[in-house]
Amino acid sequence: MEPLAGLFSDKIHANHQVLAITREETNRMKSNKRGDGPFQIYVKTTNGTDTLHGAIIDATGLGVIQNPAASNGLFLPEERQLSDRIDYKIPNVQENIETYANGKSL
C-alpha cells in the first residue's frame, strides 16, 4: 500500500470509521441514475463525525485483521483448526526470496 499511499498522501484519511456510503443528492425512490453521482462518505473521527467526498479503498484486510479465505466472509472449521499454519498477511517476497523461490501458494 505504501507506493499507492505516496501518490495520494494528501487524500488519505487514516483512523476514520466509515459509518455510511451513499451517492450525493440521490433519492432511492426518485433518482434514476444514482450510480452517476459522486460518493458521499460519512465517517467517525476522533473529533466527531465528518462527510467526505470521493472514493474509498478498503484496506482493512491488509493489516492485523484476518479475513477468511472463503469469499463468503466466513471462516471454515478447517481454517480455524489450521490457523496456526496460515499466514494471512501479504508476504514480502523480496525480503524472503529463499522462502518463496520455486514454491507454490494458494
Tell me what pLDDT residue 59 has.
62
Asked if the model's pLDDT at residue 35 lies above 70, the reply is: no
Burial 47-67 (b: 16+ CB within 10 A, else e): eeeeebeeeeeeeeeeeeeee
In this predicted model, what pLDDT tens digit does every residue of 22-31 receive, in sequence order?
A: 777 776 666 6
Report the pLDDT value the prediction gives residue 96, as an integer from 0 to 100.
81
Average pLDDT, the chain: 75
Lookup: cell for 30: 426518485
- CA dihedral angle for residue 86, residue 1, residue 74, residue 77, rounded to 10 degrees: 0
Secondary structure class of 90 (helix, strand, coil) = coil
Between 100 and 34, where is the model more confident? 100
* AA letter at 46: T
Percent of the chain's residues with pLDDT above 70: 73
**In this predicted model, which residue has the larger pLDDT, 89 or 63?**
89
What are 48-74's pLDDT values in tens digits? 877 776 766 666 655 566 777 777 778
